[in-house]
């Protein structure tokens, strides 16, 4: 087992991951053609059960993702999947870009004594995932890496990866780009003390709990009533959703649908997270274990970035109604969501325009926790139906070749 106290420098790790830049990853189907293996597919069929199970897991109660009888009366005539359902097909963060690797550990697991954090993602959707679609993916894992300054640990390495999703007839459903910040070491993160003052979980007053419940009841879901492009204006709010208080069960609810390696995941020298208390590797420790979260410099155990990404997307699908289409979605994770945190996610329309027959609105969105700390920010573009032009028009498909030529 490698010495967990000896962490390679950021410069050494940067040189290694950049040596792998541009190497394709492929799904299990393309492996049959002699190509390299890629990430494990968790959900390869968008069955009615899988679509509903995923929506339940992230707390999206929209009937067009859950109720087959309701879905028959939508323009699609059957269930479609929540946009971020593709995250349960294949994780859009390649191991090379998300988790450190060395020659001895080619599987792509975290470097012992250091930690990687998903810091943001960007999606571009081209078509919905329909009930019974069979899903497929391929992509270029790492496309960029660099070292930047950080308040969290002094310096961090930032890696960027890209993944492409397809359906069983070869149509490109979406492109996803992921960004990950890698700390120099756990000790460097703890020495900065950024989160030391928040070492204990937040304790709410009865009045604060009452406000959380009241705000949840004020959430609005557009549903079957079309939201036409002509009826919205720049500067308008798109409402809010409330998520929390977050607990370890919130984390397990998400991974139950999105996929997680289980108890028999290898814990030898080639996988998992090193736990100095037991001198062994464990699975997803800092997300589920308060002490391990503190050991990597966070307030405690914390959510997954992609988990929060999926939750925030509910804000858009609630607002746009059954006939809208989420085209572009970017999100930055600006702070950790830890045990006991509640977050309010909001958005507003910043631009309204027509592009190639698509009636679009651009949205700025953000999230804050009960302490007033901003935990997310980002942008989205939604295509709405038009009174003048009819149904929302899908965008033209793009491929990895368009984004990363030569691959």
Displacement of CA 13 from its chain's centroid (Å): 24
Residues 367-385: tens digit of each pLDDT: 999 999 999 999 999 999 9
Say which CATH superfamily domain 10-394 falls into. Hotdog Thioesterase (3.10.129.10)
Strand pairing report for 358-369 and 374-383: antiparallel
Residues near 386 by Cβ (< 8 Å), separated by ≥ 6? 228, 229, 230, 359, 392
Tens of pLDDT, residues 280-301? 766 667 777 777 777 767 777 7
Nearest of 172, 162, 163 to residue 128 by alpha carbon: 172
**CB atoms closer than 10 angstroms to residue 186:** 23
**pLDDT per residue as tens digits for the range 28-40:** 555 565 544 555 5
- Written as six digits, the tokens of 172 are 């490109």
Q: What integer pLDDT is reported at residue 194 of this predicted model?
A: 57
Q: Residue 312: pLDDT band by 50, 70, 90 thresholds?
A: very high
Who's near 244: CB < 8 A, 6+ residues apart? Answer: 212, 250, 337, 340, 341, 342, 343, 369, 370
Mean pLDDT of the chain: 82
What is the DSSP annotation of 225-280? Answer: S---GGG--TT-EEEEEEE----HHHHHHHHHHH----TTS--STTSSEEETTTTE
In whole angstroms, what is the distance from residue 161 CA to residue 137 CA?
14
User: Does 107 have pLDDT greater than 60?
Assistant: no
Q: Please tell me which of 14-23, 200-209, 228-237, 337-346 the model is most confident about, judged by mean pLDDT.
A: 228-237
User: Cα–Cα–Cα angle for 397, 54, 286, nearest 5°?
Assistant: 105
d(CA 333, CA 179): 10
- What was the pLDDT predicted at 259? 65
Q: Give residue-wise pLDDT tens across range 229-261.
A: 999 999 999 999 999 899 888 888 877 777 665
Q: Where along the chain do its domains lie?
A: 10-394
pLDDT in tens, 47-76: 999 999 999 988 999 999 999 999 999 999
Confidence of residue 302 (pLDDT cuts 50, 70, 90): confident
């Amino acid at each position: 087992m490698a010495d967990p106290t000896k962490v390679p420098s950021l410069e050494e790790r940067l040189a290694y991951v950049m040596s792998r830049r541009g190497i394709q990853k492929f799904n299990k189907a393309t492996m049959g053609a002699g190509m390299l293996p890629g990430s494990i597919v968790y959900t390869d069929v968008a069955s009615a059960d899988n679509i509903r199970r995923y929506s339940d897991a992230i707390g999206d109660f929209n009937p067009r993702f859950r109720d087959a009888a309701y879905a028959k009366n939508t323009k699609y005539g059957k269930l479609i999947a929540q946009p971020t359902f593709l995250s349960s097909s294949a994780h859009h963060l390649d191991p090379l870009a998300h988790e450190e690797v060395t020659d001895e550990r080619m599987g792509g697991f975290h470097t012992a004594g250091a930690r990687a954090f998903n810091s943001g993602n960007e999606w571009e959707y081209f078509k919905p995932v329909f009930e019974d679609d069979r899903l497929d993916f391929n992509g270029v894992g790492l496309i960029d890496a660099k070292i930047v300054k950080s308040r969290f640990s002094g310096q961090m390495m930032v890696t960027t990866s890209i993944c492409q999703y397809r359906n069983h007839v070869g149509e490109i459903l979406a492109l996803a780009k992921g960004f990950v910040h890698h700390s120099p070491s756990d000790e460097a993160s703890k020495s900065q003390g950024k989160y030391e003052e928040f070492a204990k979980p937040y304790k709410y007053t009865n009045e604060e709990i009452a406000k959380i419940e009241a705000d949840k009841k004020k959430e609005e879901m557009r549903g079957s009533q079309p939201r036409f492009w002509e009826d919205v204006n720049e500067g308008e709010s798109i409402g809010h959703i409330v998520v929390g208080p977050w607990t370890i069960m919130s984390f397990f609810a998400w991974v139950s649908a999105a996929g997680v390696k289980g108890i028999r995941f290898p814990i030898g020298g080639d996988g998992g997270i090193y736990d100095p208390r037991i001198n062994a590797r464990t699975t997803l420790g800092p997300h589920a274990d308060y002490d391990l979260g503190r050991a990597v410099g966070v307030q405690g155990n914390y959510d997954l970035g992609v988990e929060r990404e999926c939750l925030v997307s509910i804000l858009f699908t609630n607002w746009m109604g059954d006939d809208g289409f989420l085209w572009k979605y970017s999100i930055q994770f600006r702070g950790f969501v830890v045990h006991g945190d509640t977050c309010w996610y909001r958005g507003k329309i910043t631009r309204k325009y027509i592009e190639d027959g698509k009636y679009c609105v651009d949205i700025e969105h953000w999230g804050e926790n009960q302490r007033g700390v901003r935990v997310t920010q980002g942008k989205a573009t939604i295509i709405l139906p038009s009174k003048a032009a009819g149904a929302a028009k899908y965008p033209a498909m793009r491929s990895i070749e368009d984004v990363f030529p030569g691959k």
